[in-house]
Structures are given as C-alpha cells and as structure tokens.
Amino acid sequence: MKLDVDVLRYLSKDDFRVLTAVEMGMRNHEIVPSELIGRIASLKHGGTYKVLKNLLKHKLVHHDSSKYDGFRLTYLGYDFLAIKTMVNRGVFTAVGRQIGVGKESDIFEVASEDGTVMAMKLHRLGRTSFRAVKSKRDYLRHRSSYNWLYLSRLAALKEFAFMKALEEHGFPVPNAVDSNRHCVVMSLIQGYPLVQVKQLQNPETVFETIIGLVVRLAEHGLIHCDFNEFNIMIDDDEKVTIIDFPQMVSVSHRNAQMYFDRDIECIYKFFGKRFNLSFEERSDDIGNSDVDPDESSRPSFSSIAKTAGFLDKELAASGFTRKDEDEIQKFIEGDVEEDDVSHGEHDSELYQTNIKGFDSLHLDQEEPTSNCNKEDQVEENLHSSEAGPTCDPEGQNLSNEDEDEQNGDEDDTELMKSLAKQRRRAMAAARKGHKNNTSRNSYKDKGGKSSNNSKIQKQLSSW
C-alpha cells in the first residue's frame, strides 16, 4: 500500500482519536465492533460513525460486516499513528521518497527540523510474498493470538534493541534514533547495497572484513541469520555497514550452526561469482577430515569461542536458555581460574541434588533420631510385634509407634464423623428457615381456570 502523507495534514484530532480507539480495540478483537470504538473514543459531541466513514475513505481502516459491524486498522492507518507520534516527539518533520522495499519492510527518507536526513523503516509483516514469518521467527514465543500489526511491532522493537547494542559495542551499524510501534528511525547510510556493486578496488580486503564481522558477531553470542549481499552496505571508501537485524538469534539456538554456515556460504558464493575470488584451497581443507578446523581458512562454528561478550543474554536473543544464564552468572560473580570454575560446577551440581532431596531431609528431621545400627533396624522390622524394645533414646519400640499411628487414624475417623454430623445439623437448620420451593409453583384457588385445573388434578390423583 502506497504511503501518501498528504492525507496526514488534513486529519483532525477526532480522526486520530478514533484511530487510536481502533488500535486499542484490536488488542482483544480481530474486528473491533463499532459500539466499542464509540465507547473508547468517547467524542464529546458523538459523530464516531462520521469519523469512521472519513477514515474508511482514505483507507486507514477496513470495514467488515461478515459477522457483525466492525472495523480493523490497516497498515496505512498504523503508519499514520507512528508518524504522528514521531512528529510530536520532534524526531522528524518531513517524509520524503521511498528508498527501499524489502520482503517485510519499506524504507523512506525523513528530515528533521535542522535538515538532517534520516531513514525511516516501516515493518510490514504479512505480505503475500512472505507469510511464513510465524513459523520461521519467534516473535510470538508462547502467545497463541496475534495479528500482523502486532508482529510488525515486535520486529521493530527487536531490531531497535539489536541496533543500539551493536552500536555500543563498536559494530558498523546505523545509528538508532527512535522507535514507535512498527517504525524505526535510524541514520541514513551514505552507500550502496553490495548487490548493486559491480567492481571493488580491494575485493579481498572487503571479503576478509565481512567474514570478520560474522565471526565477531558469533564471539559476542549472536548470529545474523540473513547475512548476504542485500543486507551489507558499502560506500565509496569501501567501508562496510550491516543492516537488517530482526531475525538475529543466539549461538545457543538449536539451529545456530546451520545459520552460521549459511551466512558464511552466502558471502563465499557471492564473492566467488561477482569478483572471481577462488577458494579452492579452502574448500579442499573443508573436505579433508584430517585437517583441523583451526588450520582451515574458512571459519567454523565449533572453533569460535564466545568470550567477547554476552549480547544474546542482554537482548534476550532467540535460543538463549536458562542454563546459559546460570553459566553466565558463574563468570559474573568473580574472576576465577578454570580449576575453580570446575569445582564450582561440581558444587553447584551437589547443591541441586541437595535441593531435590530437601523434602526427604525434612521428613528425616521430624522422625526421632536413633543411635542403633541399620542392621539392627532391619532385623527389628523382620520380627513380629511381640519383639522387645529397641535402643530408641526415648524408650519406645516400633510396636508402640504402630499403635500410636493406629490411634491417630482412629482419632481422625472420629473427627470426620463429628464434622459430618455438624454439617448435617447446619443444613437441616437452614432448610427450616426457608419455605419450600414447591409451594411457589403450586396452584392456588383464585377462581377461574386455575381453580378448575387444581380440582381436575386432585381428582386425577385420587384415581
């Protein structure tokens, strides 16, 4: 859907109020009823239907009357809400031309009040060409209900968080400015996508830089998962910048090795076809099982040590488990040596086993302690109830304990019987205080048909 911001200047406060009401109603409704929209918007002089008719004309909402009369928000209406919020914050004041189209986003130029040109990315998940996002991405996690607008909002939040963190750690990424709903505003990269570049002065240097970025991301605990020529920007000075981060996962993800190898293979294949770089020796090294992975030039997932940081933990990347968090806490507690770490892991296992056996320990504490050997206890269990007393410090034998348990069971049964008697007495007293319900439906002699019916019923009962 084409973004026509000229309509934005003609919308009133009531229009945006009704748009916000539709957005709020879509939290619990796929199609928001018209009455609910009117109650949420609560315009002073009414007229919600007139406002909805105006929004429908500009394709900001969609009308659906298949089950009931209701409306839902379109991507264009969601765009207007995000742009209006950004303008009110002072992030930008003008929207320019469209500079990029992706399978799940549109990118536009925006300008701030001082004339700074930035990029605005609007996520548009749910297009016909890319509807498998529900099965390939984990935006929903454990949620069962969803809509495409909500998925786009989650993707924007995730990308903004990754962009901020990677920028703080010195990665060549755009500067994240602000985010709202499904909109992310970032600095505009003065360069070109690598797919549009036909020649490079130093293709080998650029290739090594890009491969180094993939390895460096993995050392920080992240995998891009879509690291190809479409998501790599390069300027006139052959400076590389990475873009597009919503699909990033942790190195602890179950498919992390597959994603890492796929990113590496995309770069090797592109540079081999476009810039005629040969990697015969590297492919031979990979095919030779005798060669160690450390000696081969192509990076492997198993040879990368995650020692530079834990960005997947900080950003809650996909695939990061509770076990990984526990291991990180061990290293955060202090600088320890490897031997100390191994002892700490052993102690933690013992601690977990102690926690599992806590209930049994608690039961053992309740029982009286005995100084007898286990063999003596086994023999006493084999004897009959006529056996003599054991060496219990309290002077009680096992038969006395059994009698006490039986007496306790008898007391419990007597208590249950008394409670049942009290309950029956209370129910009987309550019934006496109320009239019989059958009297409400009985016929009364008031003359007319009812009296005749009652007489007939009496005769039938007597027969």
**CATH, residue 226:** 1.10.510.10
Lowest mean pLDDT among 108-112, 303-307, 434-438: 434-438
Specify whether 72 is located in the same domain as 130: no
Q: Which of 327, 352, 321 is nearest to 341 (CA)?
A: 327
Helix (H) or strand (E) run with residue 222 in it: strand 222-223
Specify whether 260 is located in the same domain as 276: yes
Give the residue from 329, 347, 366 where a domain finishes: 329
Average pLDDT over residues 223-234: 93
Specify whether 103 is located in the same domain as 128: yes
At 250, the pLDDT band (50, 70, 90 cuts) reads: confident
Give the residue numbers spanning the domain of 1. Answer: 1-89
Average pLDDT over residues 325-333: 52
For the beta carbon of residue 300, count every other beta carbon within 10 angstroms: 16
Residue 283 pLDDT: 42
Lowest mean pLDDT among 51-60, 103-112, 276-285, 383-392: 383-392
Specify whether 129 is located in the same domain as 211: no
Lowest mean pLDDT among 268-272, 290-294, 353-357: 353-357
Average pLDDT over residues 35-43: 94
Question: Mean pLDDT for the chain?
Answer: 75
The residue behind tokens 């991507």 is: 75
Pairing type for strands 176-180 and 117-123 reads: unpaired
Domains in the chain, number: 3
Helix (H) or strand (E) run with residue 175 in it: none
Average pLDDT over residues 94-100: 93
* Burial class of residue 198 in the structure, from the number of CB atoms within 10 Å of its CB (0-12 exposed, 13-18 middle, 19+ buried): exposed
Residue 148 pLDDT: 83
At 52, the pLDDT band (50, 70, 90 cuts) reads: very high
At 413, the pLDDT band (50, 70, 90 cuts) reads: confident
Q: Is the pLDDT of residue 33 over 50?
A: yes
Establish if 433 belongs to a structural domain. Answer: no
What is the distance in angstroms between the CA of the first residue and the CA of the last residue of the chain? 82
Of the chain, the percentage scoring pLDDT greater than 90 comes to 43
At 410, the pLDDT band (50, 70, 90 cuts) reads: low
Specify whether 178 is located in the same domain as 244: no
The residue behind tokens 């054991």 is: 390
Active site residues: 226
Average pLDDT over residues 295-320: 72
Specify whether 272 is located in the same domain as 308: yes
Q: Which of 261, 254, 210, 201 is nearest to 232 (CA)?
A: 210
* 422-461 residue pLDDT tens: 777 777 766 665 444 444 444 444 444 445 555 555 555 5
Specify whether 197 is located in the same domain as 325: yes
The CATH number assigned to the domain holding 70 equals 1.10.10.10
Q: Is the pLDDT of residue 156 over 60?
A: yes
Average pLDDT over residues 324-330: 53
Specify whether 75 is located in the same domain as 109: no
Give the residue from 21, 55, 89 where a domain finishes: 89
303: which DSSP letter?
A: T
351: which DSSP letter?
A: H
Specify whether 133 is located in the same domain as 256: no
Of the chain, the percentage scoring pLDDT greater than 70 comes to 62
* 252-289 residue pLDDT tens: 888 899 999 999 999 999 999 999 988 765 444 444 44
Q: Is the pLDDT of residue 409 over 80?
A: no
Ranges 138-152, 209-223, 283-297, most confident = 209-223
In the sheet with 105-111, reading across from the earlier edge strand, the strands are 94-101, 105-111, 117-123, 183-187, 176-180
Give the residue from 188, 208, 237 where a domain finishes: 188
